[in-house]
């Protein structure tokens, strides 16, 4: 038997209600802040991600699904959306149509990571990107949107972490300081951290190795060396979050794994999902649009992992899932009435009722069992002596009450069910 690829998962019908709830909350919250939905292709030219996310990052260096197609073009299944959204922004000159574009998305993403709870190779993200303004109001707005969505899902065990990475010039100065601080103990760092020391020194902070963290304990912190503008914008973000009653902590070691960030960055983590605790992450990327060939245009955004969020909801038992039910199940007492039942079901379905019946010529008892299994609110019996006298029998399954209705008066059935 052929099975799904490691790290991918089928979402089967019983799981759909929670996905629907999440998607509708995402839709409603973003729409309330006047973000418009955008969809981009599943694959892009590989160079988009290499240039956008950064050659030295884990995503580009180790995790992308890259392949050469039949025309010898190198393509990559999208590992994240920001580069794709910026590519679309540039390609369609969205900045010329309006100065600020507020966009949101829901989409599958692909990264070849080691699968574990909350980490898959095909996973889903929702996210938002505001492109065209450097105002820190938008940084705060996006944090508030992410937090609102998680709160509306009933999640409680949340921590908002924020940091500022400054502009590249201040960051370069800081990297030198960090290098100076670490160089004497470089040989004591883990192998991964030694590699990061050479390639992308800020990522040393992401190390989970305790002895690395011990060495970093008294390191200089970037937040103390950022430029005045970044400092000022960070202050505005903190004030808005405080005024909006969003609890947050400044995490000076939050560096994020993608190269495009400038100024404010943030993550929201859950205490209820184990080691893969980041439910969402984002920040400002004021140089990315230009880096990908567009006019200099600032931007800010975040993305959230939907599998992780649903795992947190499950672990916190936070979702109130509606009982699945249908409006009507039609039971035929005589097999030869199949086409009459089909015809009737179409009339009911046209009137927005959720209707089903038996397609397998099962016994009346089996049809009744099916109606119960589907939590049908009403059952309509058709056939037998009642049919000969041109009547249908409608049963309300919660009260047990039954009524005879003229065969041609299906409107009466609809009226009763909709009451
Ligand atoms: P990211 O931190 O790489 O950022 O991913 C955002 C979120 O996607 C993570 O916090 C996590 O919840 C989820 N995620 C990432 N990898 C996996 C995986 N393998 N399995 C399950 N969930 C995963 C970005 O993607 C940026 N594009 C965010 C952004 C938007 N920054 C600015 N705009």
Q: Write down the pLDDT at residue 200.
A: 87
Q: Helix H segments across 302-407?
A: 306-316, 338-350, 364-373, 384-388
* 287 alpha carbon – ligand 1 mean position (Å): 20
Output DSSP code: residue 35.
Answer: -
Q: Is 266 in the pocket of ligand 1 (CB under 6 A)?
A: no
What does the alpha-carbon distance between residue 232 and residue 227 come to, in Å, rounded to a whole number? 9
Q: Are 390 and 406 in contact (CB under 8 A)?
A: yes
Q: Is residue 280 within 6 Å of ligand 1 at its C-beta? A: yes
Pocket test residue of 84, 125, 255, 259 for ligand 1, highest count of atoms within 8 A of CB: 125
Sorting pLDDT into bands at 50, 70 and 90, what band is 254? very high
Q: What is the mean pLDDT of residues 64-78?
A: 98
Q: Quote the CA–CA distance of 397 and 372 in Å, as a whole number.
A: 9
Q: Provide the pLDDT confidence category of residue 317 given band limits of 50, 70 and 90.
A: very high
Report whether residue 286 contacts ligand 1, using a CB cutoff of 6 Å.
no
Domains of the chain, by residue range, sit at 13-167+226-316, 176-219, 326-418
Q: Which residue has the higher pLDDT, 248 or 208?
A: 248
Q: Evaluate if residue 359 carries a pLDDT over 90.
A: yes
Q: How confident is the model at residue 2 (pLDDT cuts 50, 70, 90)?
A: very high
- DSSP code of 153? T
Does any ligand 1 atom lie closer than 6 A to the CB of residue 273?
A: no
pLDDT average, residue stretch 129-150: 98
- Cβ neighbours of 301 (radius 10 Å): 25
Cβ of 123 below 6 Å from ligand 1: yes
CA of 280 to the centre of ligand 1 (A): 6
Ligand 1 contacts CB of residue 81 (under 6 A) = yes
Query: CA–CA separation, 265 vs 164, rounded Å?
Result: 6
Based on C-alpha coordinates, what's the Rg of the chain? 28
Ligand 1 pocket test: pick from 80, 104, 272 the residue with the most ligand atoms within 8 Å of its Cβ: 80
Residue 208: predicted pLDDT: 86
Residue pLDDT, tens place only, 16-42: 999 999 999 999 999 999 999 999 999
126 and 31 Cβ atoms separated by less than 8 Å: no
- Give the pLDDT score at 239: 98
How are strands ordered across the β-sheet holding 43-45?
43-45, 74-77, 66-68
With CA atoms as reference, report the closest residue to 6 among 81, 124, 106, 110: 110
Ligand 1: centre distance to CA 166 (Å): 21
pLDDT over 90 (residue 318):
yes
CA of 357 to the centre of ligand 1 (A): 44
- Is the pLDDT confidence value at 408 over 90? no
Mean of all residue pLDDT scores within the chain:
96
Distance 215 CA to ligand 1 centre (A): 28
Residue with tokens 């009653």: 245
Q: What is the CATH architecture of 13-167+226-316?
A: 2-Layer Sandwich (3.30)
- Tally Cβ neighbours within 10 Å of residue 3: 6
Give the confidence band of 322 by pLDDT, cuts at 50, 70, 90: confident
Phi-psi region of 243 (alpha: psi -120 to 50; beta: other; left: phi over 0): alpha
Pairwise pLDDT comparison (76 vs 257), residue with the higher score: 76
Mutate to test the pocket of ligand 1, among 106, 114, 115, 305 (most ligand atoms within 8 A of CB): 305
* Signed CA dihedral, 79, 83, 89, 91: sign only: negative
The per-type count for the chain, helices as H runs and strands as E runs, is 16, 16
User: Does residue 155 contact residue 312 with C-beta atoms inside 8 Å?
Assistant: yes
Instruction: Identify the bridge partners of residue 101 per DSSP, sorted by sequence position.
Output: 131
Query: Is residue 150 lining ligand 1, measured as CB closer than 6 Å?
Result: no
CB 186 within 8 A of CB 198: no
Q: Residue count of the chain, please give it.
A: 419
- Residues above pLDDT 90, as percent of the chain: 92
Q: Is 125 in the pocket of ligand 1 (CB under 6 A)?
A: yes
pLDDT digits (tens, 9 = 90+) for 337-350: 999 999 999 999 99
The pLDDT value recorded for residue 297 is 98
356-369: average pLDDT? 97
Name the residue among 293, 314, 286, 346 with its Cα closest to residue 135.
286
Give the model's confidence band at 191: pLDDT under 50 very low, under 70 low, under 90 confident, else very high: very high
Record the tokens describing residue 236, joined without a space: 């505005």
Identify the three-state secondary structure at position 335: helix
Give the per-residue pLDDT at 257: 87
User: Cα 162 vs. chain centroid, distance in angstroms?
Assistant: 20
Is the CB–ligand 1 distance for residue 281 below 6 Å?
yes
Rounded Cα–Cα distance for residues 383 and 363 (Å): 13
Burial code (b: 16+ CB inside 10 Å, e: under 16) for 317-332 equals: ebbeeeeeeebbbbbb
Whole-number pLDDT of residue 400:
97
Most ligand 1 atoms within 8 A of CB, residue of 65, 77, 308 to mutate? 308
Question: Can 13-167+226-316 and 326-418 be said to share one CATH topology?
Answer: no
CATH class in words for 326-418:
alpha beta
Would you state the structure tokens that stand for residue 4, as one six-digit string? 């799904």
Say how many C-beta atoms besides its own lie within 10 A of residue 221's C-beta: 17
Residue 52 CB less than 6 A away from ligand 1: no
How many CA atoms lie less than 13 Å away from 209 in the CB half-sphere? Answer: 14
Question: What is the per-residue pLDDT across 158-190, written as a single tens digit (0 to 9) for each?
Answer: 999 999 999 999 999 999 999 999 999 999 999
Task: Please work out whether the CB of residue 331 comes within 6 Å of at least one atom of ligand 1.
Answer: no
CA 266, CA 271: separation in Å to the nearest integer? 16
H or E stretch including 83?
helix 82-91
d(Cα 162, Cα 150) in Å, to the nearest integer? 17
Say whether pLDDT at 139 is over 90.
Answer: yes
Q: Ligand 1, atom 17: nearest CA belongs to which residue?
A: 119
pLDDT of 56 reads: 85
Identify the CA nearest to 401 among candidates 416, 389, 414. 416
The atom number, within ligand 1, closest to the CA of 258 reads 3
Residue whose tokens read 């938008």: 138
Instruction: Return the ∠ at Cα 227 (arms to 223 and 233), rounded to 5°.
Output: 80
Taking only the tens place, the pLDDT of each residue in 260-302 is 999 999 999 999 998 889 999 999 999 999 999 999 999 999 9
């Amino acid at each position: 038997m052929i099975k799904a690829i490691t790290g991918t998962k089928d979402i089967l019908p019983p799981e759909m209600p929670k996905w629907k709830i999440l998607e509708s909350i995402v839709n409603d919250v973003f729409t309330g802040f006047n973000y418009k939905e955008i969809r981009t292709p599943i694959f892009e030219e590989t160079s988009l991600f290499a240039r956008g996310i950064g050659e030295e990052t884990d995503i580009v260096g180790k995790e992308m699904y890259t392949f050469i197609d039949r025309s010898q073009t190198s393509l990559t299944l999208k590992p994240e959306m920001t580069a794709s959204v910026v590519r679309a922004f540039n390609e369609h000159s969205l900045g010329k149509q309006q100065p600020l574009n507020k966009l949101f998305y829901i989409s599958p993403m692909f990264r070849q990571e080691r699968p574990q709870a909350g980490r898959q190779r095909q996973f889903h993200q929702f996210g938002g990107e505001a492109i065209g303004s450097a105002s820190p109001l938008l940084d705060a707005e996006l944090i508030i949107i992410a937090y609102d969505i998680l709160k509306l899902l009933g999640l409680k065990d949340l921590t908002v972490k924020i940091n500022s990475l400054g502009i590249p010039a201040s960051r370069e100065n800081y990297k030198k300081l960090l290098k100076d601080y670490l160089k004497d103990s470089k040989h004591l760092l883990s192998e991964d951290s030694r590699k990061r020391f050479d390639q992308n020194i800020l990522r040393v902070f992401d190390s989970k190795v305790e002895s690395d963290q011990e060495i970093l304990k008294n390191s200089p912190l970037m937040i103390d060396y950022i430029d005045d503008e970044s400092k000022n914008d960070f202050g505005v973000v903190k004030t808005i979050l405080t005024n909006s009653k969003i609890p947050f902590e400044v995490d000076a070691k939050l560096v994020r794994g993608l190269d495009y960030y400038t100024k404010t960055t943030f993550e929201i983590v859950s205490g209820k999902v184990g080691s893969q605790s980041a439910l969402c992450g984002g920040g400002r990327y004021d140089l990315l649009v230009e880096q990908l060939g567009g006019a200099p245009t600032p931007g800010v955004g975040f993305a959230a992992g939907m599998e992780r969020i649903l795992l947190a909801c499950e672990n916190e038992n936070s979702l109130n899932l509606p009982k699945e039910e249908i409006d009507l199940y039609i039971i035929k007492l005589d097999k030869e009435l199949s086409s009459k039942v089909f015809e009737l079901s179409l009339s009911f379905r046209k009137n927005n009722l959720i209707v089903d019946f038996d397609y397998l010529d099962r016994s009346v008892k089996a049809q009744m069992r099916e109606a119960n299994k589907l939590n049908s609110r009403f059952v309509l019996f058709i056939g037998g002596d009642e049919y000969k006298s041109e009547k249908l029998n409608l049963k309300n399954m919660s009260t047990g009450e039954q009524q005879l209705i003229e065969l041609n008066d299906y409107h009466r059935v609809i009226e009763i069910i909709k009451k």
